[in-house]
């Protein structure tokens, strides 16, 4: 006799995180290792957020505020929304799970892109729903093909804009055209984890206003990327009060910890840190673009803090060679890798190391 597992989890594969720096140091006996694998903020976190965490050390015995009252109030004020249109979570990852648990039944069709953020597929399968996978077109979300994939069984659609891992975006016009087409009983999850990095002005900069027109949309944001708080696990979702009241039924009672709540509030007030993070990212992106051009490396135009490139060699081999030299990136598939944009020093080191590997004789 043995325990029985839900059949829905049979094919799921555990998430493979970017390799920790300490593992790589030990394995290759290196002293310096740089990680450009998980789209983390290379500047660290806002000093205001760090200071805020120190203030809670005397209260570690107390449960967090399960309703995130202060954090929701700060976000509500900033975005001119009702506090009931805001629901924080332990990172967007947790919210993606909660959305799947709230809406998906066995056999429901769920539309998602390939390639995109892997958690959408995992949670869809976890609930026994049927993934309907729409390939990217030229490394960009194909909203026209996604429209065509909608049937009477479609329950939910996952969108990521700009997209991880390709860094590409779709425009406000395309998004509105899409939302106008989608039946209002179909849930649209709009994940904008990287929205703060976008430079193009045809991006849906003011996504909040979509909430007025589309009662079926959920907008996901995170403090893990430009705010540099990935270790604390905190993000938030904007949606109608009705949708969030239903997600609240399945939410764990204390899902966002106290350190995360106070740090997120402080981070929201630190415009200097945000601006500096944006500027360093943009400078790094332009440097990397020009270096890739010199090396003859194709890249997808990125509106994020990472770049998807074609190294024209098996991505796993390039990943291992880079790692041996103390550089962690993310191998994707075939000859594609994703590299997070670091500080200028890290970017330069990445380019030197990559060109050593791709052109070992010093030839270009």
Ligand X SMILES: *Cc1c(COP(=O)(O)O)cnc(C)c1O
Residues making contact with ligand X (CB under 6 A): 39, 91-93, 117, 160, 164, 191, 193, 222, 224, 230, 235
- Measured distance CA(307)–CA(309) in Å, rounded: 6
Kind and range of the H or E run holding 111? strand 109-114
Nearer to ligand X, 79 or 358 (CB): 79
| Least spacing, CB of residue 222 vs ligand X, in Å | 3
Nearer to ligand X, 259 or 357 (CB): 259
Give CA angle at 23 (18, 25), nearest 5°.
115
Give CA angle at 196 (168, 161), nearest 5°.
35
Structure tokens at 45: 């976190």
The residue among 147, 92, 154 whose CA lies nearest residue 123 is 92
| Least spacing, CB of residue 94 vs ligand X, in Å | 7
Distances (CA, A) of 343 to 172, 242, 283: 30, 42, 9
| Least spacing, CB of residue 358 vs ligand X, in Å | 27
Alpha helices in 6-85 (DSSP H): 21-28, 47-54, 69-79
Give CA angle at 51 (45, 52), nearest 5°.
95
Check: CB of residue 140 under 8 Å from CB of residue 166. yes
| Least spacing, CB of residue 2 vs ligand X, in Å | 33
Nearer to ligand X, 92 or 346 (CB): 92
Check: CB of residue 135 under 8 Å from CB of residue 114. yes
DSSP-derived secondary structure for 145-179: HHHHT--TTEEEEEEESS-TTT-----HHHHHHHH
Nearer to ligand X, 160 or 349 (CB): 160
- Measured distance CA(332)–CA(208) in Å, rounded: 32
| Least spacing, CB of residue 43 vs ligand X, in Å | 17
Nearer to ligand X, 190 or 214 (CB): 190
Nearer to ligand X, 39 or 302 (CB): 39
| Least spacing, CB of residue 297 vs ligand X, in Å | 23
Check: CB of residue 45 under 8 Å from CB of residue 229. yes
Nearer to ligand X, 330 or 349 (CB): 330
Nearer to ligand X, 157 or 351 (CB): 157
| Least spacing, CB of residue 234 vs ligand X, in Å | 7
| Least spacing, CB of residue 363 vs ligand X, in Å | 36
Cβ-based neighbours of 346, under 8 Å, separated by 6 or more: 34, 36, 42
């Amino acid at each position: 006799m043995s325990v029985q597992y839900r059949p829905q989890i049979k094919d799921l594969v555990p998430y493979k995180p970017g390799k920790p720096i300490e593992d790589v140091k030990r394995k290759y006996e290196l002293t310096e290792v740089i990680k450009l694998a998980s789209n983390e903020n290379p500047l660290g976190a806002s000093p205001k957020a760090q200071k805020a965490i120190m203030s809670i050390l005397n209260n570690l015995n107390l449960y967090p505020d399960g309703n995130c009252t202060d954090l929701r109030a700060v976000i509500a004020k900033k975005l001119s929304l009702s506090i009931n249109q805001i629901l924080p979570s332990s990172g967007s990852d947790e919210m993606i799970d909660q959305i799947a648990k709230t809406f998906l039944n066995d056999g429901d069709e769920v539309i998602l892109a390939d390639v995109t953020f892997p958690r959408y597929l995992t949670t869809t399968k976890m609930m026994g729903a049927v993934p309907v996978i729409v390939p990217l077109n030229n490394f960009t979300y194909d909203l026209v093909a996604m429209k065509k994939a909608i049937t009477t069984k479609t329950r939910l659609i996952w969108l990521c804009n700009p997209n991880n891992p390709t860094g590409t975006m779709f425009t406000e016009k395309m998004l509105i055209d899409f939302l106008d087409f989608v039946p209002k009983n179909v849930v649209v999850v709009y994940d904008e984890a990287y929205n703060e990095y976008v430079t193009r002005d045809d991006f849906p900069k003011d996504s909040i206003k979509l909430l007025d027109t589309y009662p079926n949309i959920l907008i996901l944001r995170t403090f893990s990327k430009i705010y540099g708080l990935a270790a604390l696990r905190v993000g938030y979702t904007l949606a109608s009060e009705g949708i969030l009241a239903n997600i609240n039924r399945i939410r764990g009672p204390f899902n966002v910890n106290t350190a995360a709540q106070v740090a997120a509030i402080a981070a929201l007030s630190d415009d200097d840190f945000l601006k500096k993070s944006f500027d360093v990212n943009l400078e790094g992106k332009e440097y990397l673009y020009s270096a890739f051009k010199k090396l003859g490396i194709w890249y997808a135009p990125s509106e994020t803090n990472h770049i998807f490139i074609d190294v024209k060699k098996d991505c796993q081999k390039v990943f291992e060679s880079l790692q041996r030299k103390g550089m962690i990136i993310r191998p994707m598939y075939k000859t594609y890798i994703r590299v997070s944009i670091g500080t200028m020093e890290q970017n330069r080191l990445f380019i030197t190391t990559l060109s050593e590997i791709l052109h070992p004789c010093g030839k270009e």
